[in-house]
Structure 1
Amino acid sequence: MNNVTKTCVLNILRSNNFLQRSLSTVAPEIRIYEVGPRDGLQNESKFVPTDIKVELISKIVAAGIKNVESASFVSPKWVKQMSDSVDVMKNIQRVPGVNYPVLVPNLKGYETAKQCNVEEIAIFPAGSEGFSQKNLNCSVEEGLKRFKQVADEAVRDGLRVRGYISCVVGCPYDGPIHPKNIAKITEQLIAMGCYEVSLGDTIGVGTAGSVRRLLHEVLTVAKPEQLALHFHDTYGQGLSNLLAGLEFGIKTVDSSISGLGGCPYARGASGNLATEDLVYFLYGLGVNTDVDLVKIIEAGRYISNFLGKPTESKVNRVISDRFTNYRDIVKLASCNCS
């Protein structure tokens, strides 16, 4: 064995040892927070009727996902796709043990959401001034004040409150975002009563390195169990960013059926990390998800067929119909031939 070959072998062994150490910190169970019916559909130009949205939610739940963000009570003037949110929430067949959270921008939206018997709401400040002005028409500070009013009402009413922070790594208007800014907003959201803060790489510019730097800072003000990871796959970095985040012991991951998504205020941003790809990825890590990948693939094909466009999920594209048992796919994902 020559010196070059020896060096290559040693590098591979070191890499494997590093990977094993990294994976040892990944939680044995990961909570999947499905955002497709809201975040995934909000940017679609083709209006999705209420019955299609309700059926999509039903299929996602049937696959075993216990958290499905189902609607958004924003102004129909700005997000027409969510104009039927009241009807969606009133027509879904709620399954015991399943959480159907909704997005709420202000007190007016919160009052409407309350009429739909919701148990959890989400508030969504931006991590940058430029994006806050485009998305919320106000500064970051003013946005946080508005959301505190909503959170205070929800906590008094006994509802769970989740926080999103958009553009945690980079902003289409302001460029790179300093991790200290995100840590400060995270701390404020937790102080408002948010049980969890989802860190969103809205335009998908993050890398494993920038995600690690972000989390090193945010975890000075929050515990891993108070955080969720929300990655868009614009640059194809979604899964590598996810693994970098999971190394810190975070147990909740946002994803979107069929990789749907994008943002009307973030030019060039593509869809979210696809739920099908996430589940397959976690199978390979030996992480328990309790999600049937065959059924979640069927849900992805259902909505993609309606929209008349190919799925953004790579797993959904390549898994053939011969895999009718999710255990067969578990074996495939983990290279387990036994």
Structure 2
Amino acid sequence: MKTLFMLLLFCHVASTVKHSLKFFLTGTSGVTNIPEFVGLGMVDDVQVGYCDSNSKTAELKQDWMRDLMKNNTQHMESYTQRCFNNQQFFRANLDDLKQRLNQTGGAHILQRMNGCEWDDETGEVIGFHQYGYDGEDFLVLDLQTLTWTAPRQQAFSTKLRWDADKARLEYDKNYCIYTCPVWLKKYVHYGRSSLQRTDLPSVSLLQKTPSSTVSCHATGFYPDRAMMYWRKDGEEHHEDVDHGEILPNHDGSFQISVDLILSSVAPEDWRRYDCVFHLSGVEDDIVTKLDKAQIRTNWVSPSEFSAAGVTGVVVGLLLLPALCIAGLFIWRRNNNGFIPANAE
């Protein structure tokens, strides 16, 4: 792992029996246009909570989580309080780090990932608590020895100070090993129908012109723990491929595209390529062959356009006198086209 920030982008590895409760906290200094503190809560890699230094309150992101918290108001209040406390903690530690590392300016980011995983078959619980600074690992808590590991020399002085805080170490251990799994089990039980929901997408091949890239587009899938890629001769293909991000649709489902540049693909080699969509937890992948007959496009050749235009004008001129005589004008138009996702 190079950076904790990337964990949020690549935390889509799921298991049929393992569940997780993770918190991603980020404090920034010298970064504009975003709150100086942001916190995310994830259950089985599904975002269930959010807070930042602007709103100063915890916000629930799932309906089932809101229903659960109606009967656990004190628990909800504790999240808001922890959001506020962590803002102060991150601000103080950022200032301390910049001073000790002689960083007088620029943008700096302190991040934390903590929580637990629980195997609902074996009952095994794994806790974790670690920090990153400016895109690199900074401190990792060893819950067996209750000491901090410092991957970077710059973190060593912080390790010594935090190792001496025995009360805090015991609190972190109790939370990761005992408190976190209790609430994780409750969250999984209450949100099981939503967390275990799987919707397969519709997959299409799209192209603007015969010479442009072919986009393999999947939309309508849930959850967002998915991946899509091009294959050549049955092997994952990376050359001349552009991977898009997973984006939300207005109905709560997701979409993704992966483009293949055709300029380097000979026509006789098309049959060697296919597009693969994989949804975590679903055994069978959706495989779409690169087939010209299956490509959807709105492109019309100039010759076809000219012929269609001339024909339309001639027919219109022939019909106009009859319509004028009848005194009846009827105009009906159907609007067809793509409906873009409501990505926030």
Q: Same fold (TM over 0.5)?
A: no
| Structure with larger RCO (C-alpha < 8 A, sep 6+) | 1
The structure that has the greater radius of gyration is 2
Say which structure is richer in helix: 1
- For normalisation by structure 2, the TM-score amounts to 0.25
